[in-house]
Structure formats: structure tokens, C-alpha cells
Structure 1
Amino acid sequence: MKISKYLVQDYGVDLGTANTIITHQDTIIVNEPSIIAVDNQNRKLLAVGKEAMDMHEKTHEHIKTIKPLKDGVIADYYATEQMIRGFLQKAIHQKFFLGRKRFLICIPYATTEVEKRAVRDSAQGVGASELYMIHEPIAAAVGMGLDVTQAEGKMVVDIGGGTTEIVILSLSGIVCSQSLRVAGNTFDTDIIDYVRRNYNLLIGERTAEKIKIEAGAVLDDLDNPPPPLKIVGRDLMTGIPKAVSITHHDVVNMLDKSISKIIEGILHTLEVCPPELAADVYDYGIYLTGGGAYLRGLDKRISRITKLKVKIAPEPLLSVMKGVDICLKNLDKNKHLLLN
């Protein structure tokens, strides 16, 4: 019996440390934080995504929030399986979906075989009949409209939640790369530590992320600086809630060390790049993508140090998923970009 093509349901999945995006038939059906809330006694899933994030750092002893991914890879595959299942059920409003499920999942370039196996186990746990994987930087490049099949060097810097992937692409492959465990989550930790040291104030991850998004900057001399941001935390001296005002100049100091590490990684990748590809990078410049690309002044700071053009993707958070959708549309044609 011939199976109709309509009974094969294609899903593109970007399992990010901070956010998970799932597409189906060119439509984003999930774009939510990578977190779940479970009952501590029986591990029953209580909430997933935004609902679970609303509970984060506000739970009592019977409820636990879990972030299943760490540094861009699966740290808890059972929780990851629960999360993907919860997202799919949320999106299609039913437990079982007609037809076979075919998944294309993005993974960091530095993923180990053990980590790939965790991805496979999680996908099989939610009923995947076919599974393909693609490296995130390649998917991001395709999503930005770059032709990665040509013998031309393209440099992509993908700053995600758990990792920063710095790669130079040519002929559908990665020629040289650097994977850093310095990214969005590191920025949050930097902000929490700085506020504790300089303001004697204890804040949580959600407040740190708010500072990063609303006042985040890596240069003092911005054309359109964001206004000061009022935040509330717990005074470490008195234990009483206290409000302070954070400026973008403060955030520049908070993130300076981590941003310097990312720029060092870019410089190191350029140092080991073959000279002919280095010439291409000089012509085309550096492409920035991922959530970290939204940091105000990052493109200018990188450009000042490298003396190269720096371009930000049109939609940095969606570059990877756009690339996944393009690959899913012509799976046979693009199989050379996928992993075995």
C-alpha cells in the first residue's frame, strides 16, 4: 500500500537552551522557553513553556521547574521528551496525530555522539518515524539566504542561550570552528553577579534576562541608548525588597568579560582559517545570528576590533528555523547538508 505524502508530517525542531521552536508546514507552531514544571512526587508534567517559565523561581516544594537543555545539548533526556511531547500536544490540541512524524532537529556543531544519541532517544520517545539532524550554524546560514554550497568562505557567529558557535563555511561544510560555552545564559549569570557585588542586591534569572533584553548593550557610545531600567531585588544587608536603576553603561561593564571571550574566539577562528577563505571573509564580512545578536552595539564592537564588515541577520532568533524549513521542503536535494 502506497502511503500518501500527506500522511508524512514534517516537523522542524530547534532545541535551544533558552527557547524551543517547532515548525510544521512552514508555520511556527511552538516558540516558547525550554522549560517544564513537574510534580516533585510523581514527575507528572504540570506545565510547559511559557506557563512553566511563569512558575520558575516561584515554586513550593511539591513543584519543580526543569530546564532540560544545558550548554546547547540535552542534559535530561526524559524531561526533554516530556517537553517536546507537551509542546506538540499543545500545538495540535490532541494526543495522537495522524501519519508518520519526520523530524529535522538542529544540534550544535560540537555535539558528541552521546549527546546525539540523547536527541535520537527523545525524538523516538515522541513517535518520530524518521529523524534527521543538522548543525545549527549551517541551518542558520541557509536561513539567512547564504549559498553554502559554493567554494566561498562565509563566517557565521551564532550566539544562542547555551553556546556561541563560530564557524567558517565552504562547500556545504564547516572548515574551521570554535564552540564556546559563553552565551545568553552566561550573560544572565554575569548580570546577577554584578548586581550582587555593586548594589548588594540579589536578583533572579528572570530579572537578569529582563535587564539583558531591555538595557542590554556592549558599547557605551550608542546612537539610540535605551532608557534606565528600574529593577527590584532583595537587599542582602536588610533582607527587604529594594529598587535600583540600571543603565546601559552598567550592562556594558556587566558583559564586558564574556563579550571579550566571544571576540577572542572570532579572532582565533580567523587565525586558523585558510588564506583563500580568509580573503572571502574579508569580502563578505561576518554574519551575526542568534539571540545574542540583539545586544546593542555588538556588531560595531566586533567590527572595530576585526576591521571587517559585520552584518546582523534580519531575524536572528529565526534564522535557524528558516534554514530548517528550507531543508525540509527539499529534503532529497539538501541531504548533503544533514548528518548521517
Structure 2
Amino acid sequence: MVSRMSGSWRASAEPAAFPPRPKGGADGAGAADPVAGERSLTRGYAALDLGTARTRSLGAGGAAIAERPSSVPADARGASTDGAGSLRPLRHGVVVDQAACNRLVRLVLRDIGLSEAWPLERVLVGVPVAATSSNRQAVRTAVHAVAGCEVTLVEEPLAAAVGIGLDVTDSTPRLLLDVGAGIVEAVVINAGAITDARALQLSATTKEGVPSYAIDSVVTMTSMLLRDVPAHLRPAVRDTGLAVTGGGAAQPRLLRRLRTALRIPVHPAPEPAHATIRGLTRLCRRPSLADRLAGRGR
């Protein structure tokens, strides 16, 4: 399905309602390396990347990114959505089970050891560009119910761009592809905003990343986005190339197909699965920039 909203096309493997854009613009929890070269988070702040398959977080005073599957044990009635005795509260990056999401958020905040940071002042959370207003409110409700503080939403491709060191406020447009477990989003970032975007919803991913049947769709979606960049901006986009983030960013077949089809440099990010949580973490340290970018996530 291809849907058009506010001047941009978004491709979807499943029917989805995308909101109009504002004008202007395996199992077990684990820990990853801390954000290199960064100071501890401002006390009272936390960053949270709620993904379809895995959730990543970092809190005030934390030395490492905490990571766990995006699932919780089934309730007393034995309800389960994955056939393995657990509930998965997110699909395509958005909340589909509010109560289970609240439980997941509680587990995540426990993972990052925030006992010394309470009361929290603010939690920054990533959301897909394609999330509707009700999707966004569900995330805000889940986090606020547990944290009891201000919840700031930042669109995940913007956070990922910050996480890999791009200057998202620059007027030079940048092309970014964020390859998640349940949703793939291609965006153009210019002067602190996502100016065009497309999204492909995935029913499942493989250990390698995007399933074979969907690779062509991802490439076509990204090609369409590049094609629709205004002619006077296209040379700059071609010079800077495509940044690829998310858990599927290092998939060799996908990268080869992108390079062949787009004929521009394609740059998979280092530690691409952690780009979004790193970006949210850095935004915790730059409140003014977080507020500016959050205008797109509200």
C-alpha cells in the first residue's frame, strides 16, 4: 500500500494510517558499551528506545546502555501474543497493548537502575515517523504512568541521526534509512526537521535483517524518496549519500542493492542498532535541541 500525506508518499506493507506532517519542516537483557566521549546523563533524565523486538535505555548516571527483548511475561490469564508465554506490546514500533507496555516500561526503568535518580524530571522516548497521534499518546501514557514526569517524544530517524554524529540543524539535506525490526523508515532531514518520509511496515525480520521478499520494497521506497528531493537540493544529497541505521543496517545484500539502485554513497552506521538510543542520550544533554526536535514528535 502507498499512502500520500502532506506532500510525501509513504509505502506500507500493511494498511496503515499515517498522520499529516506539520508544516515547516535473542532473549535476555544485556548491556552495551556506553556512549563514547559523553559525560553522564543530566541527573533526573532518561532515554528510552522502545523497539518492536528489543528495547534499549540509558538513565542518569548510567555507564552502559541496557537492552532487553520487548516482551513481558503473560498475565495470570495466560494471554500471549507470541506463542512462547510472553506478550509483545509493540508492533511496527508502536504500542498495541497498553497494559503490557506499561509493564515493559517498568522493567526497563528497573534495568537502568534509576533508584538514585528519582524523582525523574524528563524521559526522552523515540517514536516512528509514521506513528499516529494516538500511537504517540499511547507511548506517552505508558511512560508517564511509570516515570511520573515529563515525557518528550523524538522521531526515531532524527534521534538516530544525532546518535551517529550528524548535524541535524544544518541546512544541507541528509538522507537516512532507519532499518528496524518492525518498520523501516526513509527520511530527508533538513534544518532540524524531517521534510519528507516514507515507511515500510514489516510483519517479521530475520537474524540478518530485512527479509528477502521486502528488500526490493525498501530499495524502491528509498529511491522514490531520493527522486522526490527538490532538484536544487539533490546534488547535496547525492554528495553526502545515505546513512543507514537500525538493527538491519549492516545487511550486505540490502547495502549492495541500495548502492546499485541509488548510485550514491551508502554509509552503514557503526553500532547501528544503538544509533537511536545514543541520539536520545545526547539530546538529554542538550535540552534546547531536544525541545526543537521534539516539535516533530508531539
TM-score relative to the length of structure 1: 0.69
Q: Which residue of 1 aligns with 2:197?
A: 177
Q: CA deviation at 1:97?
A: 5.9
- Contact 1:8/1:102, CA 8 A, preserved across alignment: no
How many Å separate the matches in 2 of 1:334 and 1:82?
A: 26
AA partner of residue 168 (structure 2): V
Aligned-residue sequence identity (percent) comes to: 28
Matches within 5 A, 1:204-243: 212-213=207-208
Change (3 A) 1:38 1:114: same
Q: Which residue of 2 aligns with 1:296?
A: 252
Residue of structure 1 aligned with 2:69, choices 33, 43, 55: 33
Q: Which residue of 2 aligns with 1:82?
A: 103
- Contact 1:103/1:128, CA 8 A, preserved across alignment: no
Residue of structure 2 aligned with 1:112, choices 132, 135, 143: 132
Matches within 5 A, 1:1-340: 9-25=44-60, 27-41=63-77, 57-58=83-84, 64-92=85-113, 98-182=118-202, 185-188=203-206, 212-213=207-208, 255-339=211-295, 340=298
AA partner of residue 186 (structure 1): A
- Contact 2:173/2:189, CA 8 A, preserved across alignment: yes
Which region of structure 1 is more displaced relative to structure 2, 96-105 or 142-151?
96-105
* Higher RCO (CA < 8 A, seq sep 6+): 2
Query: Highest Rg: 1 or 2?
Result: 1
Q: CA deviation at 1:322?
A: 1.2
CA RMSD of aligned residues (A): 2.4
How many Å separate the matches in 2 of 1:7 and 1:273?
A: 38
How many Å separate the matches in 1 of 2:164 and 2:118?
A: 32
Flag the structure with higher helix content. 1
Change (3 A) 1:12 1:40: same
Q: CA deviation at 1:326?
A: 1.1
How many Å separate the matches in 1 of 2:275 and 2:199?
A: 18
Q: CA deviation at 1:164?
A: 0.4
Q: Which residue of 2 aligns with 1:201?
A: none
How many Å separate the matches in 2 of 1:72 and 1:7?
A: 27
Q: CA deviation at 1:93?
A: 8.4
How many Å separate the matches in 1 of 2:136 and 2:93?
A: 12
Q: CA deviation at 1:42?
A: 8.2
Unaligned runs of 5+ in 2: 1-40
AA partner of residue 136 (structure 1): E
- Contact 2:56/2:277, CA 8 A, preserved across alignment: yes
**Cα deviation per residue 1:164-208 (whole Å; 9 max; x = unaligned)?**
0100110101111101103xx5334xxxxxxxxxxxxxxxxxxxx
Q: CA deviation at 1:119?
A: 0.9
**Cα deviation per residue 1:258-306 (whole Å; 9 max; x = unaligned)?**
0000001001111211112211111011111101112123222210111
- Contact 2:181/2:205, CA 8 A, preserved across alignment: no
Change (3 A) 1:36 1:269: same
Change (3 A) 1:170 1:93: closer
Structure 1 runs, 4 residues or longer, greater than 4 Å off? none
How many pairs were matched up? Answer: 254
Q: CA deviation at 1:315?
A: 1.1
Q: CA deviation at 1:163?
A: 0.6
Q: CA deviation at 1:128?
A: 2.8
**Cα deviation per residue 1:225-252 (whole Å; 9 max; x = unaligned)?**
xxxxxxxxxxxxxxxxxxxxxxxxxxxx
Q: CA deviation at 1:7?
A: 9.8
